[in-house]
Chain A
Amino acid sequence: MSEEQQSKESKPVISLASANIYQEDALILNGVNLNVNPGEFVYLIGKTGSGKSSLLKTLYADIPLTAGEGFINEFDLIKLKNKQIPFLRRGIGIVFQDFELLMDRSVFENLSFVLEATGWTDKKKIKARIEEVLNQVGLDTKHFKMPHELSGGEQQRVVIARALLNHPPLILADEPTGNLDPETSDIIMNLLFTINQNLNTAVLMATHNYTLIEKYPGRIIKCVDGVLKEDETMSMSI
């Protein structure tokens, strides 16, 4: 491995310093300091409304960062221009609680939209890459299904496949199991965990499903009383 690659590897994929996270005009998290390194698996826990989602939205620039410092894969969140937002998002695989699939087109078209939107033109390569990611999430037979023909767990796996398309160094998951039953949740978690292990993709996952955390241990960060805290005790107890 070359030196340049090594230094890139060791650089955090998320780096926030004294960042203030707002929801609309209300300050919801104050002075956030957070570093996530390549290949780390990080849980973000906290009650509903504690700012988990707002923090993730700030990371993928759905909410602008106005105070403090913030870097995502070399992108400076403070100086980020509207035109750069698509490029920032291409470096992040985002998994949403409500899937955000394009409901008017098939699984294959959902995935090919992303590839074409991010500059892929070779139809053969597009097809090959889609088959590869669908294989990774175990959905290789569902190419031509419409999203509404799939179960919730299958839809979420399509979303994860979509997140993997461009080999992002970071996956942000906002309550990915929020709408799923325990068995399906386990499949999704297993998948995220395997991706994290095998592809060295950093995962930051917001959740309040503590059973999953016990089964799939990782670093835990807590949103509580308007601040972000490293939860050593819980990490320890696991």
Chain B
Amino acid sequence: MSSPQQKRPKKSSPTYFSSILSISLILFVLGVIGTFFVQSSRLTQTLKENMAIQLVLQESVNESDRLQLSKQLEAEVFVKDVEVIDKEEAAALMKEDLGEDFLETIGYNPLPDAIVLHVNAVYSNPDSLAWITEKILSNQLVVAVNYDENLSKNITQFSSKVLVGMLIFLGLLVLISFIIIDNTIKLAMFSQRFIIRSMQLVGAKRWFITKPFVFRAIFNGVLSAVIASLALLVNMYLLEKYLIDLNIFSHYLDFLMVAGVLLLLGIVISLLSTFFAVRKYLRMKLDDLY
């Protein structure tokens, strides 16, 4: 029974291969940009959370008051961490900064007790800091609240510009990816158009015809996303190892987030494109198929 003709390449596999390949590549590029986006937002977050806010306390404040105040502050939602610096510590810090013992020159320690706190990134902007200052000042123990208003303003402006820019860029990229993947899939489905028609002619219902294509599309989407994520991981590893220390792997959740988004995009785009392509050929007349 076996003839040399028995070797039969399945006609549909090469088209699926090329569409999986191109979806993977596009998702990979999206993943690179996405990782870049996540990293830069982490950078601005760090900048924002590093901004120190200094609370100057009344001379009369004793140790237990200070502790109580710091506990109170720690309980606030906007506070990231609180650090108590009494006048001796402050003097020691200043001595280090100035490089000379000013206490001897002046003869006493003029520095007040202080609390330094850092706020969470979302509160680290001029508007929020204004009401936070007011709120802290309402406490009798606090004389003044100091922070670099200009720095806060600059960081906020910079980060929001970066954020908006990146979002537009990302949105555009997703759109472009959608169009390219859609075209790739349409091309792959184009080769199936006569099969779809034959299926219709023998009395198969629309969903019965569409179903296997849809399942295949979901599988292709998942496979593409997995390939893209692995490629991204390898590239990040090589970058980390040979070029720059980004400390990317300490934030493995970031990577999982990017991979998750790629998975979602891969499935959704592949599924929608396939579904609409099949539906298009289901509606077409024979003469339009040629």
Instruction: Report A's interface with B, CB cutoff 8 A.
Output: 24, 60, 62, 83, 85-90, 94, 96, 100-104, 113-114, 116-118, 146, 148-149, 162, 166
Contacts and interface: CB of A to CB of B under 8 A. Distances in A.
B interface residue count range (under 10 / 10 to 19 / 20 to 34 / 35 or more) = 20 to 34
Contact of A114 (B3, B10, B11, B203): B203
B229 to A, nearest CB: 30
Interface string B227-263: 0000000000000000000000000000000000000
B195 A103 contact: yes
Interface string B1-42: 001011010111000000000000000000000000000000
Interface string B246-290: 000000000000000000000000000000000000000111000
B135 interface: no
Contacts of B92: none
25 contacts: A62-B201, A62-B286, A86-B204, A86-B205, A86-B206, A94-B201, A94-B202, A100-B197, A100-B198, A100-B202, A101-B198, A102-B195, A103-B195, A104-B10, A104-B12, A104-B195, A113-B202, A113-B204, A114-B202, A114-B203, A117-B204, A117-B208, A118-B203, A149-B5, A166-B203
User: Secondary structure at chain B's binding surface: helix, strand, loop or mixed?
Assistant: helix
B53 interface: no
B214 interface: no
B203 A90 contact: yes
Given A62-B286, A104-B195, A149-B5, A89 B201 contact: yes
Contacts of A83: 205
A100 B206 CA distance: 17
Contacts of B202: 89, 94, 100, 113-114, 117, 162
B199 interface: yes
A221 to B, nearest CB: 23
Nearest to B209: A117
Choose among A90, A102, A148, A149 the residue with the greatest number of B CB atoms under 10 Å from its CB: A102
B201 A117 contact: no
A116 B211 CA distance: 13
Interface string B179-218: 0000000000000001101111111111011000000000
A102 B201 contact: no
A174 B195 CA distance: 19
Contacts of A86: 200, 203-206
A60 B195 contact: no
A117 B205 CA distance: 7
B12 A102 contact: no
Contact of A100 (B201, B205, B285): B201
A169 B10 CA distance: 35
Contacts of B203: 86-90, 114, 117-118, 166
A176 B195 CA distance: 19
Contacts of A104: 10-12, 195
Contacts of A94: 201-202
A154 to B, nearest CB: 13
A162 to B, nearest CB: 6
Contacts of A87: 203
A104 B216 CA distance: 15
Contacts of B197: 100
Contact of A103 (B3, B11, B200): B11
A103 to B, nearest CB: 7
Given A62-B286, A146-B8, A149-B8, A102 B205 contact: no
Contacts of A113: 199, 202, 204
A38 B149 CA distance: 93
Given A86-B203, A87-B203, A117-B204, A102 B198 contact: yes
Contacts of A149: 3, 5-6, 8
A23 to B, nearest CB: 9
Contacts of A88: 203
